[in-house]
Amino acid sequence: MDSKKPFKKPGGGDYNRRRGFKNIGFVVLIILIGLVVFAAYRQPSNLKQVAFSDVINRANNGEIQSIEVNGNELKITPKGEGEPTEVSYKEPGSSIYEQGLNNRELEVNVKPESNASSTWINIGISILPVILITGALFFMLRSAQGQGNQAMSFGKSRARLYGNEKEKVTFKDIAGTEEPKQDLEEVVEFLRFPKKFEHVGARIPKGVLLVGPPGTGKTMLARAVAGEAGVPFFSISGSEFVEMFVGVGASRVRDLFAKAKKNAPCIIFIDEIDAVGRKRGSGMGGGHDER
């Protein structure tokens, strides 16, 4: 049997699925980066925090060895071996001397404030929730849009289009079935030179019914006709027209023939047409399905 794959345009189910995975990965990456940044700049200090008034009293009493000032943050090193470093916060806008420190012999190290970096950090932390919420909303909208497209395409035809392959199937590729090939050569002539037959008043055949057990080459013969005539070839199974929901099958038939008209002249091959061409039978619940 034929091992060639049907021609698929970009934008099929696999392509949309890959794009969906990329969107999920993008949102997850943004969330992880945000959590890392938030944890890095909001991580609580392991130092013991003490009140600023207590620091001033101890410093004036000579109980503190040194103070390191970095903006509003104070790192206090008490006197005595083994004493842990402490942290405190002063009021912004004035020095610790203006806020009550009288011990001039105390070692005070003032580091220059990096206003630019702290400003950018504060801005980044402020807009981080907005970025995360925007990314989540964008992902949900894309997901909803994809589901809407799937719902809208439920009534679309699932026919596979052949005709863009580098190697086309011809009658030379099919062994045996000499009589069917001779009969189908007339159809090829109709497709290749329609005006010649219309000039003499002949009617182009609307269709050919191929009957035979499975595996006898009916699909290959139909593709060979399209290959010999150089026209597109639509292949679909008759069971795809039968759905539980009323109107879906008819919608797919209309969509299939609309595509065929856009690619005319072409060939539509419906495999297992008896799935839609047989008489009505009892369906689910005593009703009938779409035949």
Report the pLDDT value the prediction gives residue 1, as an integer from 0 to 100.
Answer: 40
Distance CA 85, CA 196 (A): 102
Q: Do domains 48-113 and 160-286 have the same CATH topology?
A: no
Q: Mind listing the pLDDT tens digit for each residue in 212-271?
A: 888 888 888 888 888 888 888 888 877 777 766 666 677 777 888 888 888 878 888 888
Q: Domain boundaries in the chain?
A: 13-42+117-155, 48-113, 160-286
Average pLDDT over every residue of 146-167: 57
Note the CATH architecture for domain 48-113: 2-Layer Sandwich (3.30)
Confidence of residue 6 (pLDDT cuts 50, 70, 90): very low
Average pLDDT over every residue of 201-221: 83
Q: How many percent of the chain have pLDDT more than 90?
A: 0
Confidence of residue 98 (pLDDT cuts 50, 70, 90): low
Other C-beta atoms closer than 10 Å to the C-beta of 177 total 18
| Fold annotation for 160-286 | Rossmann fold (3.40.50)
Average pLDDT over every residue of 133-141: 76
Distance CA 184, CA 171 (A): 10
Give yes or no for a contact between 208 and 198, defined as CB atoms under 8 angstroms apart. no
Confidence of residue 11 (pLDDT cuts 50, 70, 90): very low
Nearest to 224 by CA among 173, 166, 160, 272: 173
